[in-house]
Amino acid sequence: MVEWKNLDTLKAYQELKDTERVNLAEVMSGENGAERVKTYSVPMAEGMVYNYAAKAVDGKVLEALAKLAKEAQLTEKFAALYNGEVINTGEKRLVLHQLTRGQLGDAVVADGVDKRAFYVEQQKKVTEFANKVHAGEITNAAGEKFTTVVQIGIGGSDLGPRAMYLALENWAKKHDTFKMEAKFISNVDPDDAAAVLASIDVAHSLFVLVSKSGTTLETLTNESFVKDALAKAGLDASKHMVAVTSETSPLAKSDAYLAAFFMDDYIGGRYSSTSAVGGAVLSLAFGPEVFDRFLAGAAAEDVLAKKENLLENPAMLDALIGVYERNVLGMGCTAVLPYSQALSRFPAHLQQADMESNGKSVNRFGEPVNYVTGPVIFGEPGTNGQHSFYQLLHQGTDIVPLQFIGFKNNQCGVDVDIQDSTSQQKLCANVVAQMVAFACGKEDENRNKYFAGGRPSSIIVGDQLTPETLGALLSHFENKIMFQGFVWNLNSFDQEGVQLGKVLAKRVLAHDTDGALKAYSELLNI
Ligand SMILES: O=P(O)(O)OC[C@H]1O[C@H](O)[C@H](O)[C@@H](O)[C@@H]1O
């Protein structure tokens, strides 16, 4: 039996707070630093590693973190989750996104259905549909092939799939598996849909309407926007649109779509990239085999998250170091910095995944907690970020823990040698330089040029960003967020904090306003 306890009631948390702080600049200098880089490393799936040499931890801190992981029963709680307990207490739901890519424990039967079999069946339906589209068996009314896929969705029905698409676009082109260009419409700003529609040939476009609830205002508005454009072009919208939703949503039984693929209430939107939500657009864009390889990478990483030994479980270790930084060292933000242009939207996806999951002030029983929880997440790909906000990261008054991601090889296989190094080497040299600069700093008599160092970072390193490594990367962060939620005793799987704004927006549109709501409405001419 697992016991759900607040962090500040755990003995190991007290011990962690009493553990001597590590002087990062000192331990990372000289041969000691070299030794840490070689040893403070955990294998991930698909040949990747999680390296935490530049984190402010040592043997004693790691020991305290291992005790905390044990006392917080992280392994047992993960098992409870994948074996189908009601982990989402707020909404009284199971949490099953890992089942979209593998069976980690017992069969989970809910609503009379084996859930793993259900997700596999949905992906099989997506596969058959995508194969028919690629083969020209499902076409537009004129019998011509669809060339473009446009996803309409927002939040979890946009960010993950979009980030994954961008991550694999160049890889698929290089490996001759690029089938259809994908575009995304998410914002209710009419300029978003208008710009996408202006950039495509609607007659050869297939629209994937994605909404788990089937009630999201932005998505339904954009659906109408697109249907309007199709009608104006003399096209039958029902021959150009598929839906991805939950079986209980208002969209599920509509005949307004060519096909419908299902996820369910046990998969949170922000955890839905490996369900039909990501499956439809990614299978259409790159072929179902590529999506299968992405799932295989995620499944392999999920298996590592079951490991009890903290030092062999990269997601759990990353999570606990994050808790140490947040709750003991008092750091409030985390930057995600992929040195990979293909991961340009990955930080945006993690913003939702992390901040919507762990941005909570009450525990899983609805009681206020007396400690800080989820950090603010932001990020941009390197080296671009270096030329914008790294100034604050190096010399600002706040210390921001950094999560670097880097690959030894690029995806396109095109490079040049300029001034004795390739662009890929320059990219990798920069991430190496940054990590050491952040950790070790630099003495200077001129305080303006002085770097204190002691700014912690970790790095995930892979050979190349492929479908498998991308899947593993996604799983790593999903599981990290889950473990942190367990430590903080939160329900990481609901998002009540987004409701109030929606309710007030409806009132504004209905002109049912007073006070500041009315005054702001006038300011914006609504
Ligand atoms: O997929 P949908 O039901 O349309 O939801 C789309 C998004 O909107 C909501 O407001 C939630 O904050 C997100 O978690 C969700 O991913």
Q: Mind listing the pLDDT tens digit for each residue in 105-124? A: 999 999 999 999 999 999 99
Nearest atom, ligand 1, residue 352 CA? 14
- Strands 113-114, 148-152: pairing is unpaired
Work out the average pLDDT over 241-266. Answer: 94
Query: Strands (DSSP E) along 65-188, which ranges?
Result: 109-110, 113-114, 148-152, 181-185
**88, 151, 154: residue to mutate for ligand 1 pocket, most atoms within 8 A of CB:** 154
Alpha helices in 19-114 (DSSP H): 24-27, 30-39, 59-71, 74-82
Tens of pLDDT, residue by residue over 378-421, are 999 999 999 999 999 999 999 999 999 999 999 999 999 999 99
In this prediction, residue 1 carries a pLDDT of 85
Q: Is the CB of 158 under 6 A from ligand 1?
A: no
Residue 102 half-sphere exposure, CB side, CA atoms within 13 Å? 19
Q: Is the CB of 216 under 6 A from ligand 1?
A: yes
Neighbours of 503 (CB within 10 A): 8
Structure tokens at 81: 């989750």
Which whole-number Å values give the CA distances from 360 to 173, 197, 375, 422, 496, in the listed order?
41, 38, 10, 45, 9
Specify which residues 459 forms β-bridges with: 51, 404
| DSSP codes, 303-322 | HHTT-SSGGG-HHHHHHHHH
Of 387, 408, 442, 449, which residue is the catalytic one?
387
Q: Is 498 in the pocket of ligand 1 (CB under 6 A)?
A: yes
Is 312 one of the annotated active-site residues of the chain?
no
Catalytic residue among 356, 380, 468, 478: 356
pLDDT for res 526: 95
3-state SS track over 456-516: CEEEEEECCCCHHHHHHHHHHHHHHHHHHHHHHCCCCCCCHHHHHHHHHHHHHHCCCCCHH
The span from the CA of 405 to the CA of 156, in Å, is: 22
Is 140 close to ligand 1, i.e. is its CB under 6 Å away?
Answer: no
Sheet holding 376-378, edge to edge: 41-43, 49-51, 457-462, 402-407, 333-339, 376-378
Q: What residue has token string 């001034």?
A: 419
Backbone angles phi, psi at 525, to 5 degrees: 60, 45
- Cα of 179 vs centre of ligand 1, distance in Å, is 28
Ligand 1 near 457 CB (within 6 A): no
CA distances from 281 to 140, 273, 352, 448 (A): 17, 10, 20, 50
For the Cβ of 269 lying below 6 angstroms from any atom of ligand 1, the answer is yes
**Is 115 labeled as catalytic in the residue annotation?**
no
pLDDT at 253: 84
Is 270's C-beta closer than 6 angstroms to any atom of ligand 1? Answer: yes
Pocket test for ligand 1, best of 88, 91, 151, 212 (most atoms within 8 A of CB): 212
How far is the centre of ligand 1, averaged over its atoms, from the C-alpha of 216 (Å)? Answer: 7
Res 392: pLDDT: 98
Residue 440 neighbours by CB under 8 Å, 6+ apart: 25, 28, 29, 33, 453
Which residues are paired to 333 by β-bridges?
Answer: 376
Q: Ligand 1 pocket, 495 CB below 6 A? A: yes
pLDDT at 463: 98
Contact between residue 375 and residue 333 where contact means Cβ atoms under 8 Å apart: yes
Q: How far is the CA of 259 from the centre of ligand 1 (A)?
A: 21
d(CA 421, CA 409): 14
User: In 3D, which of 239, 265, 280 has the Cα closest to residue 124?
Assistant: 280
Rg of the chain (C-alpha set): 24
**For 316-375, how does the pLDDT look when each residue is reduced to its tens digit (9 = 90+)?**
999 999 999 999 999 999 999 999 999 999 999 999 999 999 999 999 999 999 999 999
Which residue has the CA at smallest separation from atom 11 of ligand 1? 155
For the segment 143-169, what is each residue's pLDDT rounded down to a tens digit? Answer: 999 999 999 999 999 999 999 999 999
What pLDDT does 106 receive?
95
Which of these is catalytic: 17, 232, 442, 502? 502
Cα of 495 from ligand 1 centre, angstroms: 9
Which of helix, strand or coil describes residue 390?
Answer: helix
Residue 387 a catalytic site member: yes
Phi, then psi, of 183 in degrees rounded to 5: -130, 165
Q: Which of 219, 222, 498, 500 is the best mutation target for the ligand 1 pocket, counting ligand atoms within 8 Å of the beta carbon and taking the most?
A: 498
Ligand 1 neighbour 154 (Cβ under 6 A)? yes
Q: Which residue has the tokens 């599920």?
A: 252
Half-sphere exposure in the Cβ direction for 326 (13 Å, CA): 23
> In this structure, what are the phi and psi dihedrals at residue 319, rounded to the nearest 5 degrees?
-60, -45
Tokens of 68: 């905390």
- The atom of ligand 1 lying closest to the CA of 495 is 12
The count of other CB atoms within 10 Å of the CB of residue 130 is 25
Tokens at 36, concatenated: 């840490």
**3 state DSSP class of 347:** helix
Cα angle 349, 352, 357; round to 5: 135
Instruction: Determine contact, residues 306/69, Cβ cutoff 8 Å.
Output: no
Q: Is 111 left (phi over 0), alpha (psi -120 to 50) or beta?
A: left
**Residue 468 near residue 293 (C-beta atoms within 8 A):** yes
* Ligand 1 atom nearest to 153, measured from its CA: 4
Q: Identify whether the C-beta of residue 315 lies closer than 8 Å to the C-beta of residue 195.
A: no
If you measure from the C-alpha of residue 217 to the centroid of ligand 1, how many angstroms do you get, rounded to a whole number? 10
> 165-211: per-residue pLDDT in tens?
999 999 999 999 999 999 999 999 999 999 999 999 999 999 999 99
Q: Report ipTM (2 d.p.).
A: 0.98
What is the position in ligand 1's atom list of the atom closest to the CA of 277?
A: 1
